[in-house]
A = this chain, B = another copy of it.
């Protein structure tokens, strides 16, 4: 599926150690220490205002993806934007792909869905 083997930005890291289907709704049962350790990273990634804006810029961008150049205007320097996008990638919330000169980011729906699942109240 998808990448045969040549996606530098995608392949560099083992993707998301946080991975996809993790935990039941938080109301269902207490998380184990291990589950909490892995899952907290996803929430932490959205716990910074700049990252939250970057994420919403990607998520709401037409076509479901955005070039870095489209979303860089969030009030911090370019290296800082790059740093935050990396954090969002490492958390599994975004994926990136270089196409020619530009790098495009898109939301990883399964991870976001997993987060939403955990916040489901009184299932």
Contacts and interface: CB of A to CB of B under 8 A. Distances in A.
Interface string A50-88: 111101110110000000000000110000000000000
Question: Which of the listed residues A33, A44, A45, A49 has the most CB atoms from chain B within 10 Å of its own CB?
Answer: A49
Interface of A: 26-31, 33, 36-37, 39-41, 43-53, 55-57, 59-60, 74-75, 107, 109, 112-113, 115-116, 119-122
A55 B113 CA distance: 19
Nearest to A53: B36
B59 A26 contact: yes
B29 A60 contact: yes
Given A112-B121, A119-B119, A40 B49 contact: yes
A43 to B, nearest CB: 4
